[in-house]
Structure 1
Amino acid sequence: MLVCTDDDFAFAGFSSKFGGVSKGKFAGLNLATHVGDELGNVEQNREILRQKIGAKKLIFMEQIHSDVVSEISNLDAKIPPCDALITGLKGVAICVMVADCSPILVLDRASPKVAVIHAGRAGVISKILSKTIRKMGSNPANLEVIIGPNIKGNCYEIGDLDLGAFNAFKNGAKFDMDAALKNELESLGVASYKFSQICTHCDERFYSYRRDAITGRFCGFAYLRD
């Protein structure tokens, strides 16, 4: 597990493949119910993660590769399918599942609020990060943004796919999500941000859809301290 923030305000970071009970192609701490793993194993893995990070509860999104941003303010509310989730609830860890896409954590000490974002190619080019920050109502200058392990530009082949204005972040047939996100962060005025240097396609400590096709999902998580 990669812990990025651990203080009186929040706890946030990223899981890896290690420490879970799943077997075979999903071996380890697979957190996804939609990839073909046994449901009981996933439920056990989620409880292992919850205990390890000290959260009262974990909340996962039904991710749909969209630019839909939701906010949860009470635990009885039903969360619609979305790819970004915001909360100001204490002790409730919101989670984003990935296996090459960019898991983004947004921390706002002034609100206080936290958000998690699933940004694959579709999310990046639809600027789901900007839309999340706007919905949070945050001053970008007050934010801490963390982009976790993802597939790096040297490995992310998309062929001759036309990305419009985002072709500026292509190098031949490859797309650099980090470069596009860095440009967006700086345009927004976010001063405090950091990128993991881990490429999920290259590093077998993490699940990678591009590398393995049938595989599990790790997650980014964030919650506010009580």
Structure 2
Amino acid sequence: MTTNADATPIGQRIHGLGRGVSAGFTARADGGVSAPPFARLNLGNGVGDDPAAVARNRELAARGFGISPDSVAWMSQVHGRDVAVVDTPGNAGQVDAMVTTRPGVALAVLVADCLPVLVADAEAGVVGAAHSGRPGTAADIAGALVEEMTRQGAVAERCVALLGPSVCGQCYEVPRDLRDAMERVTPEGACVTRWGSPGVDIRAAVVAQLRRAGVAEIGHDERCTREDDTLFSYRRDATTGRFAGYVWRDAA
């Protein structure tokens, strides 16, 4: 397991997803004001942390990426397949994916083992973000995201995706019936853990789903949340915070 070394400044973790489109992921120790067990940059409400600390952390994270804290759209994530089209910041409701065509609106997805999926068609000016946990992956939330992006003018074959840190298949043990259920809908997601038990590989499943949706260019931050303690992990710590993936188009 990695040690909690000094944090890399958030602004140094920005990835380009095409001209004028940026994306990035936060980490547990990127500054932040939350006390243990949420220390330090917990961005998730509803996990037991002080709401004032979460609000301050969200401000710090946004500014670290060089975007306004008032420009971010969030989701009340429910492990489903619904996608919201958003024109303004704020809460997009009980959905697990968002799409926007508005420059200057940043989309954020909260995770602590689930896979953050960030997608952009820079030419069309369409960006999207999805929260793909095991139930959402089984429901193909990534495919639903690409479908909505194409309805908003994107071309799937032109899209660029970035998949963030998540629990890896070797660490994600599940009961055999859940592994078998994943295998029925996305065979690439069924796996065996490093200790020989049934597992689910969310990343492999989402890659397959994105490719079937037409997305060819897929980048990765392949850190395993359970193994890397610079990231929050529910499966490792149970009571813990959430880090986030962000994607945005530069304001016009």
Bucket of the pairwise TM-score, normalised by the shorter protein: over 0.9
Q: How far apart are residue 194 of structure 1 and its match? A: 1.4
Specify whether residues 123 and 6 from structure 1 end up closer, same or farther in structure 2 by C-alpha distance, changes over 3 A only: closer
131-140 vs 201-210, greater mean Cα deviation: 131-140
Task: Provide the residue aligned with 1:38 in structure 2.
Answer: 50
Cα shift at 1:75: 4.7
- Alignment match, 2:195: none
Equivalent residues, number: 225
Offset at 1:167?
5.1
Q: Percent identity?
A: 33
Matched AA of 1:23: A
Separation (CA, whole Å) in 1 of partners of 2:109 and 2:188 = 27
Q: Normalising to structure 1: TM-score of the pair?
A: 0.94
4+ long deviations beyond 6 Å: none
> Following superposition of structure 1 onto structure 2, how do residues 100-111 of structure 1 map, counting pairs within 5 Å?
100-111=113-124
Aligned position for 1:193: 218
More strand, by proportion: 1
| CA-to-aligned-CA distance 1:66-108 (integer Å, 9 cap, x gap) | 10100112458x6221000111222221100000000000011
The residue type equivalent to 2:189 in the other structure is: F
Q: Of 8, 18, 23, which residue of structure 2 is paired with 1:12?
A: 23
One-letter amino acid of the structure 1 residue matched with residue 46 of structure 2: H
Give the alignment partner of residue 60 of structure 1, picking from 46, 49, 74: 74
Amino acid at match of 2:84: S
Q: CA deviation at 1:7?
A: 7.1
TM-score of the two chains, using structure 2 as the length reference: 0.84
Task: Deviation per CA, 1:145-195: give whole Å up to 9, x if none.
Answer: 000000000000112123133355322411111111121222222111112
Q: 1:71 aligns with which of 81, 85, 89?
A: 85
Residue of structure 2 in register with 1:81 after alignment = 94
Instruction: Name the structure 2 match of 1:169.
Output: 189
For 2:228 and 2:81, the matched residues in 1 are separated by: 28
Q: Larger deviation: 132-141 or 145-154?
A: 132-141
The alignment yields a C-alpha RMSD, in angstroms, of 1.7
Given the superposition, is the C-alpha separation of residues 7 and 31 from structure 1 closer, same or farther in structure 2, using an over 3 Å criterion? same
Report deviation, 1:224: 0.6
Contact 2:96 2:132 in 1 (8 A): yes
